[in-house]
A and B are shown apart, each in its own frame.
Chain A
Amino acid sequence: MFKDNFNLAFKNIKERLSRSILTLLGIAIGIMAIISLMAIGEGMNVAVTGELSSLSDTILVNVGDGFSIFSMGSMDNNGEYLTERDINDIERIIGIKEVTTQLTSGGLLRYNGDEVAVTLTGIDSETMQVQYSVDGLEEGTLLADNDQNKVVIGSKIAHDYFDNDINVGGRVHINDQKFFVIGVFSEEGMGGLTSTDDIILLTPRDFEKITGESNIYSATVTVYDVNSVETIADEIERAINENHGSDDFASATTMSSILESIQMVLGIIQTVLVAIASIALIVASIGIMNTMLTSVMERTREIGIMKAIGATNKDIMITFILEGMLLSIAGGSIGILLGVLGSRGATAVLGNMGPPGSGSLEPVISLSAVILAVGVSMIVGIFSSLYPARKAAKMSPIEAVRYE
């Protein structure tokens, strides 16, 4: 009998094809939104995890609170710096492969006769590659260790600070020394671990030459054993804090802890987006209910006939619920398809305009998302046809048969 119910439901949908398609389109859009948002969220997660877990042997050491997704790039060092002694102490900790340092100081940048105060960063090429990706440049290259009198500058410096844009190959003066710009960062705005918009990167040698200082702003530590990275980070923090007689002078942040906080934020964003997308699904389920109620009204006579010739209330109910489910499952399947395509389109667009490193963003359609979508659309189908089906089943055969 189930087969007959299915056949009847299917024929009813076919009979009212355009209305059925419009109804299932509602479901399709809801499911599409959920699938694509989940896929993009999952893709971001994978991209971030992939990028950062390749740095899982890395510890960032800096003065202040450390890297955190909640204080994006705004590290406050209160004019204090790490000392040579700190670096030596770090190097003495067992299990450390390499320590590289990053220097900062104020400086004066002159271009076409105008002068502005800037923050200079002296950084060796290895640290630079860890912290700044070449993907993040809108033009040019990063510095190499043997470069002399060359700088990489942030996009605000290149485009906003002076009347004329500074391009790669442009000549600037820093503290009256001549430098050539070999790279310009893309505009970043919010996002990323550190903002590159206002920075000027120099080699450590150039930095010392023009500032006469060697203020260590931060250090990048790599370890031999990835598993010991957390304990070594703790040791580094303890050693430096001891040197400076303070409990929170410096912090050593592992990539995995950064990763965790990023994943947490991504998770919250994803949940909120999916919740919003679910509203579309609720609207769609009201659409199904509406269509089914109309269908019940139109088929009053047919329902009466079926009952008169021996259909039970259950038969009628099953037919209508099946009809609702068919609509919603068809809609859900189309939605999954559209969601897959949509998330590809969306990540292609995001990848082109996103922050550095997001070029590799690929949507990830997980099996659980598909199962969830199918499940949700089935439930929506059952739920929204329940009331119309009950209404149909309760119809009196006499009145229904006489109904014109």
Chain B
Amino acid sequence: MIFISPVILTKEINKVYGTGSVKVEALKKVNLEINKGDYISIIGPSGSGKSTLMNLIGCLDTPTSGKIYIDDIDVSTLKENHLAKIRREKIGFIFQKYNLIPTLNALENVTLVMGFAGVESKIRIERAQELLNKVGLAHRINHKPSEMSGGEQQRVAIARSLANNPSIILGDEPTGNVDTKSGNSIMEILESINKNGNTVIIVTHDPKIAKRAKRMIMIQDGIVSEEHV
């Protein structure tokens, strides 16, 4: 049997905010193993620690103790610039509020991340067009975020998250700000991405969205438990 190492592996991670008497333990001894091609939802009420977990998996933050491995790289002690490199190469973010750059149009928003990674300009534009085409926005490439609907903006964000071909797509309430119909089409796009082999992780508080995933991770008071669907 061939041993396949997980895409994300967390070992006993703790995250403590604050110091002294006002310490808040946001995560307690979290152990997770996420494999390549997984489709996972992380669900929990607000204040449960799910955002903290997402920040750690997304390499936006480092744990107080414990280890996190992304593609076998120990990211728990990396410095900011190395974390930035991991973020742009291995992780594609999708935020609840789309978080596109308001001054740039759809195409530029997608090419920007490839720019951070140093991709050649001509290739960038080709790939961005291809991705926007894939999310059904070929007609919107020259529009600025303010000229698009929430659903369209979120699809640009998905295209952006895919730009550097990351192994992990991390969605933080990706349907939280759009209507049901748009939310559905966004989930369908994410699911098709998963079918292509990318690992998709959705953080949500909506059980209906969460149940679409193949694995559901519950989080409550900083403690993780898994429920198979």
Contacts and interface: CB of A to CB of B under 8 A. Distances in A.
Interface of A: 1, 3-4, 7-8, 11-12, 14-15, 301-302, 305-315, 397-398, 401
A312 B80 CA distance: 8
B19 interface: no
A258 B107 CA distance: 69
A308 B108 contact: no
Contacts of B112: 4, 8, 306, 309
Given A8-B112, A312-B80, 12 more contacts: A8-B101, A11-B103, A12-B103, A14-B103, A305-B95, A305-B99, A309-B88, A309-B112, A309-B113, A310-B117, A311-B84, A311-B116
Interface in B100-132: 100-104, 108, 111-113, 115-118, 121
Chain A interface mostly: helix
Contacts of A14: 103
B103 A308 contact: no
Contact of A310 (B55, B108, B111, B164): B164
Contact of A305 (B58, B61, B84, B101): B101
B93 A7 contact: no
A19 to B, nearest CB: 14
A174 B81 CA distance: 93
A8 B103 contact: yes
B108 A306 contact: no
A123 to B, nearest CB: 75
Closest 10 pairs (CB-CB, A-B): A310-B88, A4-B115, A11-B103, A305-B99, A312-B84, A310-B116, A310-B87, A15-B103, A309-B113, A398-B60
B71 interface: no
A315 B60 contact: no
Given A12-B103, A308-B58, A401 B84 contact: no
Interface residues of B, number: 31
A8 B111 CA distance: 12
Nearest to A310: B88
A308 B80 contact: no
Contacts of B111: 4
18 contacts: A1-B118, A3-B121, A4-B111, A8-B101, A302-B101, A302-B102, A306-B101, A307-B87, A309-B88, A309-B160, A310-B164, A311-B84, A311-B88, A311-B116, A313-B81, A314-B81, A398-B55, A401-B95
| Chain B, interface SS category | helix
A398 B83 CA distance: 13
B206 interface: no
A393 to B, nearest CB: 9
Contacts of B116: 1, 309-312, 315
A306 B103 CA distance: 13
Interface string B121-156: 100000000000000000000000000000000000
Most-contacted residue by chain B among A3, A11, A15, A397 (CB, 10 A): A397
A309 B87 contact: yes
B89 interface: yes
Contacts of A310: 84-85, 87-89, 113, 116-117, 164
Contacts of B61: 398
B165 to A, nearest CB: 13
Nearest to A302: B101
B142 to A, nearest CB: 14
Nearest to A12: B103
A4 to B, nearest CB: 4
B32 to A, nearest CB: 19
A15 B102 CA distance: 9
Residue picked from B80, B115, B121, most chain A C-beta under 10 Å = B115
Contacts of A397: 60
B132 to A, nearest CB: 16
A315 B104 CA distance: 16
A269 to B, nearest CB: 47
A310 B115 CA distance: 10
Contacts of A307: 84, 87
B104 A11 contact: yes
B107 to A, nearest CB: 12
Nearest to A5: B115
Nearest to A1: B115
A315 B103 CA distance: 17
A298 to B, nearest CB: 11
Contacts of A15: 102-103
A383 to B, nearest CB: 24
Residue from A3, A7, A309, A315 having most chain B Cβ neighbours under 10 A: A309
A179 to B, nearest CB: 81
Interface in B58-107: 58, 60-61, 80-81, 84-85, 87-89, 93, 95, 99-104
A14 B88 CA distance: 27
